Structure 1
Amino acid sequence: MLKQNIRIQLGCDFRFLLPQATPMIAMLNVHATRIHDLEGPDLIGTWPTVPLSAYHDSFGNWCVRFVAPAGEFRIGTRTIISDCGALDVQPTEIGEQPVEALPNEVMQFLLGSRYCETDILSEVAWRLFENTPRGGARVQAICDFVHDHIRFDYASARATRSATQAYAEGKGVCRDYAHLAITFCRCMNIPARYCTGYLGDIGIEPRHEPGDFSAWMEVWLDGAWWVFDPRNNTPRIGRVLVARGRDASDVPMIHTFGANQLVGFGVVSDQLS
C-alpha cells in the first residue's frame, strides 16, 4: 500500500563506559542526499558535552570526530524527516553495463573488501547465477537466494562475520545478508555497495525485534544506483540512508580508538501520526 507525505521520527542513543579518554568517530547524521527532507538539523549531542569537528570521508559520508572522556559517556541524535511514503522501486527490468563501459568511480565496488571476499565466493556465484537473466533480474535472483539461505538470528550477530562465513553458517543479521549479496553481485561483475541507515516497521506488521540500524545494498545498473534489500526482500517504506561504502568496515556508526564497553544502545524510526 502506497502512502503519501509521511513524517518519521529518527534517533539513536549510545552509552559507553570508558576506562580512559578515547578518540571516536561517529556516523550518525542523515546522508547528504536526504538533508533537504529534514524538518530540523539532526545535531549530535553528547553527555558530557565535548568539542566536535566534522568532515566528509572519501565516500561522501558525514563524519564527526571527538574525544570522549573517561567514565560514562552518551552520544545520540534526534530529528524528524519527511518522506514521500512510496515503496522502494523494483528495477528488475533494468539492464547492466559490461565492465569495460563502467564509469571509473564505480570500479572499486567490483573489488573484494574486508567482509566481501570475491576471490573465495566467485566460483560459487557463477555456479548459482550464471544462467539467470542479466541485470536487475539477476540481482533479484541473488537477493532471493540470500534471503532464503540465511536465517535471521539477532542473538548470533557477530561483528567479524564475513560473507564467506555467512554463506557457510547460514545465519546472521541484516549486515550479513547485505555482505553476501554484495559479494555475489561483484562476482557477477555488477558493482554493489553497502548502505546503512534507518528502516522502521512502516506499512508492515511490527516485528518486535530490538531497535537497530538496518543494512542493505545499492547496485549499479544501466547508469544508476538502485536499492536492493536481501534481508527483507520486499519493497519497504521510509528507508533513510545514513552512510555507504564498500562494506560495514567503511561505515561503523561509532568507531572507537581504545578500550570501551557499550552498555546501552537504542534506535528509533517511527512514523508520526
Structure 2
Amino acid sequence: MKLRVGYELVYECPQPTPMMLMLNTHYSRVQDVLAADLLAVDPPVPITQYRDGFGNLCSRIVAPQGRISMSTTALLNISDQPETLEPFGQQHPVEELPDECLVFLLGSRYCETDLLADIAWRLFGKSPPGRDRVQAICDFVHRHITFGYHHARVTKTAWQAYQERTGVCRDFAHLAVTLCRAMNIPARYCTGYVSDVGLPPPQSPMDFAAWFEAYVGGCWQTFDPRNNAPRTGRVLMARGRDAVDVAISNTFGPTKLVKFDVRCAPE
C-alpha cells in the first residue's frame, strides 16, 4: 500500500525567531520511502540539520518576522495489513537490559515515576511480567483517560493525567510510559503519523499521533494506549524520553501557530 504523509504548518513571528524542528520521518523507515519528505519553507531561509542523541533528524532555521510556512509530503510503501505481535514478549531483569535501555527506566519531565511507582505496583504487581503486563497497563490507561482535544495542555504530566482522567494521545502515552518504567520495563515515547485505514467513518481530523515502545522480548515493541488496537499505516517521526524530546517545534521567541494541517492517507 502506498501511503502519503505530510503537513503544512504556518507560524506568525513578531520578530526574527530561531526555531528547532523535528518534522521528518524517522530513518528507520528509509527502506519504505518512495518519495522523501524534504522540508519546504516559505519564505525560503537557510536550513541546517543534525541528529540528536536519540537518532531523530532535527532542522534549525531562523524564521523571519511575519508569516512562515513549513510543509512537506512523502510517499511510503507500507503493509496494508494491521500491526502484528512480535514472537517473544518476556520481561528482562534490569541487570540484563542493554545499556541503551537504562535511560528509559528513569523519570523524565512528563513521566514522574516517583509519584506513580506505588500505584503501578498496586495495580499491576500481580499481572504476568513482560508484554502481558504492558498490555494490562495499556488497557488500564485506555479505560482511565477520557480523550478530548479540549483537555489538552502543554504542561500536563503523567501524574496530572492520572488524577484528572482526561487528555489527548500524548497524555495516554505519558501515563503508560510512566507506569511501565515504574514496573522496571523500559519505555520510550514516540510520535508520528497513524492512518485511519480500516476504520469506519466518521473519522477524526488528521493530527500527529503519540504512542510508545516498550523493551520486551529482546526488542522494542509498539503499544498504543490511545487506540489500544492494531493499526494499519503507523509511521514513526521521532522517539525519546517523553514529549520534550520529540516536540515538532521549539521556538526561541514569541510565535503563534495559525495553521496546522496533517495528511496521512492511502495514495
Deviates most, 79-88 or 61-70: 79-88
Select 1:96's aligned residue among 74, 79, 91: 91
Q: How far apart, in 2, do the equivalents of 1:137 and 1:159 lie?
A: 31
Q: How far apart, in 1, do the equivalents of 2:87 and 2:119 lie?
A: 22
Could you say which residue in structure 2 is the equivalent of 1:110? 105
Could you say which residue in structure 1 is the equivalent of 2:38? 43
The answer to whether residue 145 in structure 2 is matched with residue 150 in structure 1 is: yes
CA contact (8 A) 1:153 1:173 kept: yes
What is the TM-score with the length of structure 2 in the denominator?
0.98
SS at match of 2:173: helix
Q: How far apart, in 2, do the equivalents of 1:250 and 1:26 lie?
A: 11
Deviation at 1:128, TM superposition (A): 0.3
Structure 2: 5+ residue runs without aligned partners? none
Alignment of 1:258-273 (within 5 A): 258-272=253-267
Select 1:249's aligned residue among 244, 249, 263: 244
Deviation at 1:91, TM superposition (A): 4.7
What is the TM-score with the length of structure 1 in the denominator?
0.96
Deviation at 1:209, TM superposition (A): 2.1
SS at match of 1:200: strand
Identity of counterpart residues, as a percentage? 51
Q: How far apart, in 2, do the equivalents of 1:207 and 1:258 lie?
A: 38
CA contact (8 A) 2:90 2:217 kept: yes
Query: RMSD of the TM alignment (CA)?
Result: 1.1
Could you say which residue in structure 2 is the equivalent of 1:220? 215
SS at match of 2:254: coil
Q: How far apart, in 2, do the equivalents of 1:54 and 1:151 lie?
A: 38
Alignment of 1:1-273 (within 5 A): 6-91=1-86, 94-272=89-267
Q: How far apart, in 1, do the equivalents of 2:66 and 2:97 lie?
A: 49
Give the partner amino acid of 1:179: H
Q: How far apart, in 2, do the equivalents of 1:91 and 1:81 lie?
A: 22
Q: How far apart, in 2, do the equivalents of 1:72 and 1:207 lie?
A: 33
CA contact (8 A) 1:93 1:137 kept: no
Q: How far apart, in 1, do the equivalents of 2:13 and 2:201 lie?
A: 35
Give the partner amino acid of 2:18: P
> Displaced runs of 4+ in structure 1, greater than 6 A?
none
**Residues 34-69 of structure 1: CA deviation (Å, up to 9, x unaligned):** 022111121000110001010000000000111010
Q: When the two structures are aligned, how many residues end up with a matched partner?
A: 267
CA contact (8 A) 2:14 2:254 kept: yes
CA contact (8 A) 2:195 2:231 kept: no
Q: How far apart, in 2, do the equivalents of 1:165 and 1:98 lie?
A: 29
